Structure 1
């Protein structure tokens, strides 16, 4: 499945880790690939992950545009099954390979070692071969990320044969490759012989393919420092476009990829940077399992990092977290200046006023619904007095009060969310905050037309909409192009893992409330009542029509209005839960708390006040409240602590 960390860590990883490694990998990749090909699938992937475009992270590698400093390792998805899906996760480039002239099959299964956070590949060069790779790359890729192809000769080849094989592979792959990783080092040869072969390949590829394809030298991670220095020192690094430091440490079982490789990767990167100077590109790919690993490698001298086992153990949100951590680090170092906050009247201030207006309006609506219940124009529409309504059905006014108080509580909740999102998010030009406001606002204002479904026009609501709608339009002028300044958790500790459960609770709450809002609005414009409503009222729609033929339309107006408002509130909450939760973002935790309380307080208090306590009717509210409380409790340590920074 294409899922972010809050569902991967809590739901899917425990299930996938019960399967054999290859079965789990194939299931995951095919699921992601399938979703990316379905209508609406790419939109779903982008919605769940929400990887924003941040130009401050873009760079070039020998003329090839790299949007983000995080690459996808070739061995994780050797057949490119899910490349289209994963291109939306925050990767800047994708490795293809290793690719050998002929297929190489693994004789044993891939093994997973969860305690060590490692994956063991019995045959490190297993791949489908050149012909199959060319055939696959010839199909539409579904993404625009540059592909860097890692070529390798067949095991046991002579140096002459190895040179011919690699040249032939690169010529066949050139139409699809943005650049090449030349993997030519062979333990059967001396450092001088390996360097001679690498240099020969570089020269001949330049002659045959021209200067447009970046050529990067692939250096195995498990070389000793002496071997690495001897090899790199003789290939003249300045003649290459970069160096790729491998990800695996070989053992008797095979190639070990994962956390055990990180220490060696960090040490080798620092040594390579000292050997090669500042200007040469270095790509490090060993054992990056949390954002701090990537930061450490970048600070040690790496230009880019590649992910493999980190996606398996940390989750698909890792590249986005690394990108955000890189931005946060640059801010801390002063290399990314803070933009001035826009003026109040430039846009975001109008949303603050809209939020305040919603809170005040909700309070007034609550006061009216708890006292008179109906307004003079309601009675004029019915042609009845308040006393006549009470006489017709003793529970009718209480029932109408319960719809209107829950609507009032929802209005207050929306107002709190809008004000907080405007002050803390829109004012700082955060794209996710503007998206939450725009999506919720469009739904909320559009739901006004639901009121007209039964021919009842609410002049007070129309007046409020006429005042608030211009504020909404003016607020959307605010630009939302600033990267987040508060970085994510850099380490995958217990508090971070617990927060994934908390985020799951709030995302589930947003989805549940959205479904509830749609259902309530749908009931409001169709049947109006559910069986529990009629049981509480001890009546039927026909009996209500007999009292007054306009009574059901008036109740329908209340129900449709509440459903539309709840859906609008739920969308804001859902987007906040999906995209906004971050370590140390205290204001958002308080927004969840304060924004949820009015809605739950209104719903529970009015039901118990009027005696409408049917368990089945209130069960969705009990369930939602349980999700709300659990989410807040689980997220509290994560969102209230300061950034973890370095280890």
Structure 2
């Protein structure tokens, strides 16, 4: 459920349901997908959320793939953690966990205008025993951070006993990378909280040395004087860092919203200021992160790591990836190093440019021939008939063959333009998704040249083209390691971003539809050859054509299978482009989509009208894809053509 489907299709419906039911339905749906063989691969592939090595860090021997964590409140029962772990997170929080299960069926409140979630019971959890079973078999490989808390309303004595017991249980677990302890309670006096903190500090000191990192939980709405006193009491040898909470208590319940960001920033700065000169404490913050810019603000205020909570619900599952990209861009900007130059033309990417140019030239030549003589000399030699003879048999026959060959020519032009652009702007700079788009397209495209061989017709021109172009493909894929994307990235949930998600959805559907269309056409080409509308246009049955010339069917099958394979190869590039490639302000992407798709549509639609093959149901798929294609370009235009740096500051002010 990436952002292009969540924001456009799923969120409007989910937000009409009671929040608790919507959460359960969503989590169980994601869990079901993740449990299907290959399900986690599909989830990861749809969003392309594999973190870059530059984001890695270590805490006490544990490697965190990214500095972005999942708040335990998002999935308190761990229903879909296996799926959510594929979103680009670096660690997963489990908790808050209390000694016994705390269940609640009260409605969870949603204030969409404020982008807030109101929990009537913020300590709802499965209890220590069930949590232990979940931690030992998490279904994913991400580090697990456990947050423990005493029973709500417990007095100092009971809280001390419960926290000691929970500490014993979880600190010794090998699958627990960090233990966050919730000592401070707003319904206890500052003296009671300080006393409880000292007792727990002394207790942990007596325990056997553990590799588990111990963190202290700081309520988001803790008063500044109490925070200062707490920091003076916290022994830095025991408490390696602090986790600033995500909710603010209100009469309605615990509120997680973007409004918590200001309080979180204030506490981050206060902690950094008061602990200055001491060993640097680890700081985790998760309040109010609803767009990448929010995470950058918290990091600038002193956070080492961030956790996503309400923002994941309101912005969508792509938020971790977007935050990761923003952090990478900030790291590269702070490093103040010159970006590496593009690769030498002849090293790899230039060969793909030449391949693209070759496809463009081939498409132009094929279009010219298909619009004039239609048949080449070796076609006539194979048939033993000239074009005039075919025209005398059926005046629609040459037109029909021309329509197949012109659509193939348009597809070749489209492929050539896409290949050239992705090589020049993507492969040249080691952009992973561009390389994968070209690799996948080539792997499925080149073998498709020979789908028609089963009918006994060998096309020497196609074979020669494959022999010439395939080495160029191989040369373009060599010695090209992935490099980081250095241009500005999207930081805000602006109007342009939201509209672009609709545009992205359009192109994902276009790519998927063309993939299906290409496979269907190729399958028809190597089996029945014709669809009923074809027979209606020709006015002759397949058997009649075979009686006229038994080699007509293999020749037409060659055209159809070749076109289907080329269309599938073209569609793969468009699909990967739409799924993984779109970045705000990348003007070349919009022009690539425009010029890369135009030849295919111009060829496919114009030839049908020029030869009078205008059956509505035959052309309906082309009309459908064309409308989506145009809509996608219109919706993506503001996002791709406007620099990311000039975007609105926030979604509330910018739409």
Give the deviation of 1:610 after TM superposition.
0.9
Residue in 1 aligned with 2:181? Answer: 182
The CA deviation at 1:614 is: 1.1
Cross-structure match for 1:458: 459
Deviations 1:232-287 (A, max 9, x none): 22214464221100000000111001112122112221222212238221101101
Aligned to 2:163: 166
1:133 — aligned with what? 131
- Residues 121-130 or 561-570, more deviating: 121-130
Q: What is the match of residue 652 of structure 2?
A: none
Partner of 2:653 in structure 1?
Answer: none
Q: What runs of 5+ residues in structure 2 fail to find an aligned partner?
A: 650-655
Distance apart, 1:545 and its partner CA: 0.4
Tell me what 1:223 maps to. 222
1:298 aligns to what?
A: 299
Hey, which bits of structure 1, 4+ residues long, moved more than 6 A?
A: none
Match of 2:17 among 12, 16, 19: 19
Match of 1:640 in 2: 641
Q: 1:477–1:196: structure 2 CA closer, same or farther, 3 Å change rule?
A: farther
**Does the residue aligned with 1:427 lie in a helix, a strand or coil?**
helix
Deviation at 1:525, TM superposition (A): 0.6
Counterpart contact for 1:524–1:560, Cα < 8 Å? yes
Partner of residue 309, structure 1? 310
Q: 1:391 to 1:107 in 2, by over 3 A?
A: closer
Distance in 2, Cα, partners of 1:418 & 1:143: 36
2:135–2:144 Cα contact (<8 Å) kept: no
State the Cα deviation string for residues 164-196 of structure 1 (Å, max 9, x = none): 312221322332311101111123433344234
Are the structure 2 counterparts of residues 236 and 451 from structure 1 closer, same or farther at C-alpha, using a change threshold of 3 Å?
same
Give 1:117's aligned residue.
Answer: 115
2:536 paired with 1:566: no
Q: How many residues align?
A: 644
TM-score (norm 1): 0.97
CA shift digits 1:498-527 (9 cap, x unpaired): 111111101110011111101111110111
Q: CA RMSD in A?
A: 1.5
Give the TM-score normalised by structure 2: 0.96
Tell me the residue number matched to 1:377: 378
Match of residue 208 from structure 1: 207
How far apart are the structure 2 equivalents of 1:106 and 1:551? Answer: 72
* Counterpart residue number, 1:510: 511
Q: Do structure 1's residue 99 and structure 2's residue 109 form an aligned pair?
A: no
Most deviating of 55-64 and 374-383: 55-64
Find the counterpart in structure 1 of residue 81 from structure 2: 83
Q: Is the Cα contact below 8 Å between 2:27 and 2:75 reproduced in 1?
A: yes
SS in 1 for 2:418: helix
Contact 2:214-2:238 within 8 A present in 1 as well: no
Gap runs ≥5 in structure 1: none
The 8 Å contact of residues 205 and 238 in structure 2, kept in 1 or not, is answered as no
Counterpart-to-counterpart distance in 1, 2:628 and 2:49? 26
Change (3 A) 1:359 1:161: same
User: Contact 1:182 / 1:198 at 8 angstroms: preserved in 2?
Assistant: no
How many angstroms apart in 2 are the aligned matches of 1:574 and 1:623?
A: 16
The equivalent of 1:416 in structure 2 is: 417
Match of 1:592 in 2: 593
Post-superposition shift, 1:64?
1.7
Map of 1:51 onto structure 2: 49
Query: Quick check: 1:544 aligned with 2:545?
Result: yes
Deviations 1:13-41 (Å, cap 9, x if unpaired)? 00000110010000111111110010121
SS in 2 for 1:439: helix
Kept in 2, the 8 Å contact 1:195–1:232? The answer is: no
Q: Is the 8 A contact 1:93 1:148 kept in 2?
A: yes
Whole-Å separation in 2 of the counterparts to 1:578 and 1:548: 46
